[in-house]
Amino acid sequence: MAKKPKRSTLVNKAEKLWKEIVRIRAGHRCEICGDKEKQLHPHHIEGKRSTYMKLYLANGILLCCSCHKLGEAAAHADFLSGQMKFHKKIIAFKGQSELNRLYHLRLKPPNIKDAELIEQVLQYEALRDRLKERWGS
Ligand SMILES: [Zn+2]
């Protein structure tokens, strides 16, 4: 029987797939401003402290450099006022009720067992392949 993979290996694998899926799903464009630059960043809307939020597809959005870090109204802007401006754009994109749902999930993230993690990796691989078939890589 094959050796059971380490949890950290599974999480890394699943996160890599999460990023790929967020990119393909967004059509390789910034989901806030529509920019199609080379460097796009899959961003976690409500952070990624828990494994659940790290791997949750609804918590992902694809951003250009400007919307991610560099712009005045970026997700990781230096000033709170900039982050607040970004937050307004996220509300427009996701809707307030969906953001509330994500926020509450962040506060009480469900646990993911190792067996579920293995299942998630397999599901994400299948989803990525389906998306690639439909939209191209
Ligand atoms: Zn952008």
| 135 pLDDT above the threshold of 90 | no
* Domain of residue 32, residue span: 9-119
Whether 134 maps to a domain, the answer reads: no
Q: Which residue has the higher pLDDT, 5 or 8?
A: 8
Ligand 1 centroid to Cα of residue 40, in Å, is: 9
Ligand 1 centroid to Cα of residue 119, in Å, is: 33
| 1 pLDDT above the threshold of 80 | no
Whether 125 maps to a domain, the answer reads: no
Q: What is the 3-state secondary structure (H, E, C) of 50-105?
A: CHHHHHCHHHEEEEEHHHHHHCCCCCCCCCHHHHHHHHHHHHHHHCHHHHHHHHHH
Ligand 1 centroid to Cα of residue 127, in Å, is: 25
Query: What is the token pair recorded at 66?
Result: 């400007």
Ligand 1 centroid to Cα of residue 27, in Å, is: 13
Question: Residue 134 has what pLDDT?
Answer: 87
Ligand 1 centroid to Cα of residue 102, in Å, is: 21
Whether 3 maps to a domain, the answer reads: no
Question: Residue 12 has what pLDDT?
Answer: 97
What does the pLDDT average to over 89-100? 95
| 2 pLDDT above the threshold of 90 | no
User: Residue 20: pLDDT band by 50, 70, 90 thresholds?
Assistant: very high
Ligand 1 centroid to Cα of residue 19, in Å, is: 17
Whether 137 maps to a domain, the answer reads: no
Question: Residue 37 has what pLDDT?
Answer: 87
Whether 131 maps to a domain, the answer reads: no
Ligand 1 centroid to Cα of residue 62, in Å, is: 8
| 136 pLDDT above the threshold of 80 | no
Give CA angle at 40 (123, 37), nearest 5°: 135
What does the pLDDT average to over 107-118? 96
User: Residue 137: pLDDT band by 50, 70, 90 thresholds?
Assistant: low
Ligand 1 centroid to Cα of residue 32, in Å, is: 5
Ligand 1 centroid to Cα of residue 65, in Å, is: 7
C-alpha to C-alpha distance for 117 and 94, rounded to whole angstroms: 26
As for how many domains the chain has, the answer is: 1
SS3 content of the chain, % helix, strand, coil (to 5): 60, 5, 35
Ligand 1 centroid to Cα of residue 133, in Å, is: 26
Whether 135 maps to a domain, the answer reads: no
